[in-house]
Structure 1
Amino acid sequence: MILQLVFFTVCLLDSLQEIVNKKSYFKRLRNFMFKSLAFPIGTFVFFSFWLIYAIDRELVFPTRFDAIIPSWHNHIMHTLPVIGTWIECYLNEYKYEKSAFFGVVPTFLAAFAYLIWMLIVRKFGGIWVYPLMNVLTNFQKFFVILIFFAIVGGFYRLGQFLNEYFWPKHSIKNTKSKKN
């Protein structure tokens, strides 16, 4: 939620600066945040949460939380990010790196930072942030984390694909073909 708040605040500042100055200094930051953070991580949060919730909700959002977290708040945390970023993808063109490797590295760094935070909470708080981790062996945890990293990388590529689909005149492929 905080990532989405920061991203859409940058979007607002970018738009306001374009209205006033015609040149925004937030454009590069907005582009970076969208392609490397907001889209892939927001999409990952939605799909991973609701997939695990559908299998066994106790592994991500135990029923005891219902008494303290209303369902609308749960949707704000786990559904709204994907809605906002997909609408943003449709309404605004973003520049993706020609090399997916360099584009996805910041995404992996953000995911790694989140993993470190989860491990710190486990080490010093004595609990896993997600109950799913309580039922997995160490090998299974490692495997699940690797799969999650691969999925996040896949969502980076999905953002690139959707950007090219919604903005075909400006896609990397069309730019290359015009040069030939």
Structure 2
Amino acid sequence: MAHFLDIVPGCQKVKEKVYKLSDFIFTAIATPMALMVTLVFWSIYLIDRELIFPKVIDLVMPPWINHSIHTMNTLLALGDMYLVSHKYPSWTHAAGGLLCYLIPYAFCLFGTYWQTGIWLYPFLSKLTWTMRIVAALLTFVGALLVFGLTKLVSYFMWGSYSAAPVSKKSQKHKRK
């Protein structure tokens, strides 16, 4: 969308907002969650494959699809980080963005179980409710830590966090 706006004259403000939203989604949600998916999936897979991706699924889903879901997302995110200097939001905004993503995800995950009695991830059937809640909280904390790590990596790659500019409104408040 932003690239399309590059060729349309007079759309500078819209283009800036599209880039800002794109950077926010990429840095605060997409990249941390992509890395979390890869880390969690392959960690559990190495411990006991049946807990996350039972062998019976191989009959209907070839390995290349498994990798496109659980590996390629991280490779694409890291490649994009290498090629593009993104503006990173504050920790507070990143945490809010992650919560806006993870809360509906948790509702879907737990809601599916409550409606069908089936866990989307087999390892959840082995956990107590307390452990499931802790796992959900650790996913949030882990994603927030991954956000911080990618922000740091971006700093070393690009020489700055490319932090979003401070708004005029917040500058006025700082002067008082």
The normalised TM-score by structure 2 is: 0.83
- Offset of residue 53 of structure 1: 0.5
Do the aligned partners of residues 170 and 44 (structure 1) sit closer, same or farther apart at CA in structure 2, a change above 3 Å counting?
closer
SS at match of 2:150: helix
Aligned to 1:102: 93
Q: CA deviation at 1:171?
A: 4.6
Within a 5 Å distance, the mapping from 1:94-133 to structure 2 comes to 94-97=86-89, 99-133=90-124
**Alignment of 1:150 onto 2:141:** yes
Number of the residue aligned with 2:6: 18
Q: 2 CA distance for matches of 1:42 and 1:84?
A: 9
The 2-side partners of 1:135 and 1:35 are apart by: 33
Amino acid at match of 1:44: M
The equivalent residue for 1:43 is 35
Equivalent of residue 19 in structure 2, options 6, 27, 36: 27
Sequence identity of aligned pairs in percent? 28
* CA RMSD after TM alignment: 1.8
Q: What one-letter code is carried by the residue in structure 1 that aligns with 2:153?
A: L
Matched residue type, 1:111: L
Asked if structure 2 preserves the Cα contact closer than 8 Å seen for 1:58 and 1:131, the reply is yes
- 1:26 is paired with a residue of what secondary structure? helix
**Which protein shows a greater Rg?**
2
Aligned letter for 1:17? L
| Aligned counterpart in structure 2 of residue 70 of structure 1, from 44, 62, 65 | 62
Q: Deviations over 1:115-158 (max 9, x none)?
A: 11101111112211100110111122122222222111111112
User: Which of 132, 135, 141 is the equivalent residue of 2:132?
Assistant: 141
Distance in 2 separating the partners of 1:119 and 1:138: 11
Unaligned runs of 5+ in 1: 1-12, 173-180
- Return closer, same or farther for 1:83/1:138 CA change in 2, 3 Å cut-off: same
Query: For residues 87 and 144 of structure 1, what CA distance do their matches in structure 2 show?
Result: 28
Number of residue pairs matched? 159
Paired residues of 2:109 and 2:119 also in contact (CA < 8 A): yes
Maintained 8 Å contact 1:108/1:153:
no
* 1:55 paired residue number: 47
SS at match of 2:48: helix
Return the TM-score normalized by structure 1: 0.81
Distance 1:20 1:162, change over 3 A: farther
Could you tell me how far 1:105 is from its partner in structure 2? 1.4
CA–CA distance in structure 2, aligned partners of residues 44 and 59 of structure 1: 17
